[in-house]
Structure 1
C-alpha cells in the first residue's frame, strides 16, 4: 500500500505509545501528539529503524489553537492524513462523587471530550479536502463507555459521550468517505492501570486485584481496524484482559 499518514494523541505513554509503535512498524508515518515532548521523543526512539517516520509534536489537545497548529504541521510535512487515533485522556483520583471538585470535572471533560472533538474536527477538515478524499478516525472509548467503576463519574461520562461523538462522525463523514470507529479497552497494562496489581474498588465496595493484558494487543487492534478499505468500517471493538471483571461487574 502507499504509505499512510496517522496522528496518535496521547502518544507519549501507555496505549498511545503502543498504537504509535504498532503503526510505525506497519509502515505508517505517524505524528506523535502529547503534552510532554520528552515522552514523545522517547516513543520515537523506541521505534528503532522506523523512527525516521515519527514526528513528535507537543500539543495540548484541550486547546483549539494548539490542535489546529499540530494538524497544520502534519499536513505541511506529509500532505494528507489517513488515520486519527483519538486516545489522549485522563482520569480523576477515586473520590466520592459528592466530593469531586468542579475544577477536576472541567479538566477531564476538556481533555477527554473536547480534546477528542477538536482533533476529530481538524482531521475531518483535512480528510474532506484531500485527494483521494477520506480517512478513518478511531476514538478510544474504554470499557467505561459501557460500565462505570465506582467513583468515576467524570471519566465515565466523557467516555459515554465519546460513543455519541463516534456515531455522529460516522454519519457526518459518509459523504466524504470518512469512517469512524471506537475501541473500548479494558485493563491494558499501562502506568494508568498499575493500581490494578494492588487492588481496586469494586461495585460492592470491596477491593480486588484485577487481571491486565499486554498493551501491545491494543496497538495491533488499531492496525487491524485501519487495515480495512474505506468501504468497510468497524463501528466498535472491545478488547479486554480475558479475566478482568467486566461481564459480571456490579
Structure 2
C-alpha cells in the first residue's frame, strides 16, 4: 500500500488520540490498511500477524509515517499466544480500547464433501476461535476502558450469502457475524460496542493464496475476481483503504450509537442478484 506523504496525516483531527488498538492479521491487505488508518486518527497500534517480516514492515511503515506502532507475532488460534499479545499490548501502551479481529484464512476452493477435514478445522480455528480468544483475553482491559472500547470484527459478504465452493469460509464468517451480534448484546450495557464489517471483492490476496498458484492459474484467478466484481453495481473491486476507513469510523465516537451492526463494504453486491454482464 502507498506511503502517506512523509508525515502521517492526522485524519479527522486525531479522533483516536490516546487510544490503543490491536489489529490482527495486519501484515498486509485490509489489516495493514486498517492499522495505518487507526494510526492516522491518532491511535497507538499493535500490529499482529504470523508473517514476521511483513508484520514488522507494516509496523515500520506506520512509524516512518510518524505514527506509533509495534509488531507482536501471534497465531490467533493459540490461547497462549493470544494472551501474550494482549499482555504485551498493555505492557507497551498501558491500556487497550480497540480490538480489530481481522486475521482470517480462506480455506481454498472445494465442495463440502471433498474438503479436507483438517483444513475445515483450521479455517474454524483461525476465523471463529481466533476472534473468540482475542475477545476473551482483551475483555478485562476493554471493560476498564468503558465507553471508549470498541470491537470490530472483519467478516465477509460470504458470511451473509452462499458462495461457490467455499463451505468453511462461508460457515466461519457467518458464525463471526452472529458472534458480533451476541457480543453486542452482552457487553452493550458496559458501554462496549461490537460491530462487524463485511467486505466484498477487495483488491488483495488474502493469505497469499493466489500468489502461491502457478502463474497461469494465478492470472485466471485474478481475472475471475475482476470479472465478478465488474458485475456489482459499482463495477469494480475495492481498495483495502476503503474498508479501513469504515473500520476507523466504527472505532471512533462518530459511531457511538452503533453496536451489533453488520456493515457491508461491497460495492452493492449483496444489494442485488447477479444479472450477468452489463450491456
Q: TM-score, normalised by structure 2?
A: 0.80
Q: State the match for 1:28 in structure 2.
A: 43
Aligned position for 1:43 = 58
Q: 1:177 aligns with which of 157, 168, 191?
A: 191
The answer as to whether partners of 2:39 and 2:68 remain within 8 angstroms in 1 is: yes
Aligned length: 242
Q: Could you say if the C-alpha distance between residues 227 and 131 of structure 1 is closer, same or farther in structure 2, counting changes exceeding 3 Å? A: closer
Higher strand share: 1
The aligned residue for residue 24 of structure 2 is: 9
> What runs of 5+ residues in structure 2 fail to find an aligned partner?
1-14, 211-217, 230-235
Alignment CA distance shift 1:170-1:46 (3 Å): same
1:197 corresponds to: 222
What SS does the aligned partner of 2:109 have? coil
Residue of structure 2 equivalent to 1:126: 141
Task: Report how far residue 96 of structure 1 moved.
Answer: 2.1
8 Å CA contact 2:146–2:191 kept in 1: the answer is no
Instruction: Name the structure with the higher helix share.
Output: 2
Moved more, 226-235 or 106-115: 226-235
Unpaired runs of at least 5, structure 1: 201-206
Deviation per residue, 1:171-190 (Å, 9 max, x gap) = 11123211100101001111
1:204 matched to which residue of 2? none
- Deviation of 1:97 after TM superposition, in Å, equals 1.8
Kept after mapping to 2: 8 A contact 1:22/1:223 = yes
Output one character per residue of 1:125-183: Cα deviation in whole Å (capped at 9) or x when no partner.
2112x255650001111101111211101000011101221111101112321110010
- Residue 160 of structure 2: which of 140, 146, 158 is its match? 146
CA distance in 1, matches of 2:84, 2:63: 27
Aligned to 2:72: 57
Within a 5 Å distance, the mapping from 1:49-88 to structure 2 comes to 49-50=64-65, 53-88=68-103
Contact 1:142 1:184 in 2 (8 A): yes
Give runs of aligned pairs for residues 217-232 of structure 1, distance below 5 A.
Answer: 217-228=242-253, 231-232=256-257
Aligned residue number for residue 265 of structure 2 = 239
Which is further off, 23-32 or 102-111? 23-32
Which segment is superposed worse, 18-27 or 168-177? Answer: 168-177
RMSD: 2.3
TM-score normalised over the length of structure 1: 0.88
Which residue matches 2:3? Answer: none
Residue 240 of structure 2 corresponds to residue 215 of structure 1 = yes
Paired residues of 1:188 and 1:241 also in contact (CA < 8 A)? no
